[in-house]
Amino acid sequence: SVATLPARLWKSQLKRLGLLCAVLMASTALFSDGVPPVLQPREPSPAALGLPPPPPTGYNYVVLHVWFITVTQRSINLALTVGSLTFCALQTSSICLVTTPGEEMAIGLRWW
């Protein structure tokens, strides 16, 4: 729907919204693994105590670890999800408010 609207309606808010979502994504990616979840320690079953450890693989869950900042695959996935959902929700509501007359909004709210 942005393609049919004049650029003056959406261009200025798109920059601010993009900056907000980028900051939100960066902070989520960098700091979402800072607080470890509260878990109960699990002990292996008695049958598995005598087994040798599994062979090492090339899989690495931690993508970046610098000083106290740890970026994991989970935090990157969470950051992309949070950023894209925030962008979609705010941009959709903004375009809805820009393109729908107030009378139509009132009729829609009265119907609901």
Counting Cβ atoms within 10 Å, is residue 101 exposed (0-12), middle (13-18) or buried (19+)? exposed
Give the model's pLDDT for residue 84: 92
Give the model's pLDDT for residue 110: 77
Q: Transcribe 12-42 into DSSP letters.
A: HHHHHHHHHHHHHHHHHHHHTTSS-------
Residues 6+ apart with CB under 8 A from 32: 74, 75, 78, 79
Cα gap 23→17, rounded to integer Å = 10
- As averages over each run of 10 residues, the pLDDT of the chain (112 residues) reads 72 85 88 66 74 80 81 87 91 82 81 64
Task: List the chain domain ranges.
Answer: 9-33+62-112
Tokens coding 5: 């609207």
| Predicted structure pTM score | 0.66
Give the model's pLDDT for residue 85: 93
